[in-house]
Amino acid sequence: MTYISGMHDLMELKKQHPEYKTVLHSDQGSVYASKKYNDLLRSCGIIHSMSRAGTPTDNAAMESINGWIKSELFTDFHLQGENVKKEMAAYIKFFNEERPAYSLGYLTPKQYKETYATA
């Protein structure tokens, strides 16, 4: 999967729900800073937000998740790369439904949402 396939998914979702304000946050990579990419976002009604240069803490939550994914997929899940989509789907299910998080009081994200979500 590349950034462009993810963009197609986001653009389709935006078409289905044009009433929602949509913000895409990225780092300052060359692709994300390019005029063509930003023109595409603008034409779809998507607001582009970018981290400040050299400050991964601007997007700390995603940076943390990316680190966990890299570490846990290779060490705990023994990622083989034979079916990456299937392996990622299994990891996401594990992360959301089975992996307790210290920052959530040792609840899983799913348990936290079920406990504290407003109806």
CA atoms of 78 and 80, how far apart (whole Å): 6
Q: What is the pTM of this model?
A: 0.52
pLDDT band at 1 (very low <50, low <70, confident <90, very high): very low
CA atoms of 80 and 71, how far apart (whole Å): 14
DSSP letters spanning 14-79: HHH-TTS-EEEEE---HHHHSHHHHHHHHHTTEEEEEPPTT-GGGGHHHHHHHHHHHHHHHHTS--
Cβ atoms within 10 A of the Cβ of 41, count? 20
pLDDT at 115: 93
Residue range 72-106, pLDDT digits in tens: 777 777 776 677 778 888 888 988 999 999 989 99
Q: State the amino acid at position 8 in one-letter form.
A: H
Is the model more confident about 57 or about 94? Answer: 94
Segment 60-68 shows an average pLDDT of: 77
The angle, 0 to 180 degrees and rounded to 10, between the axes of the packed helices 84-97 and 109-116 is 50
The SS3 of residue 88 is: helix
Q: Which of 59, 103, 98 is nearest to 76 (CA)?
A: 98
Token pair listed for 38 = 């930003």
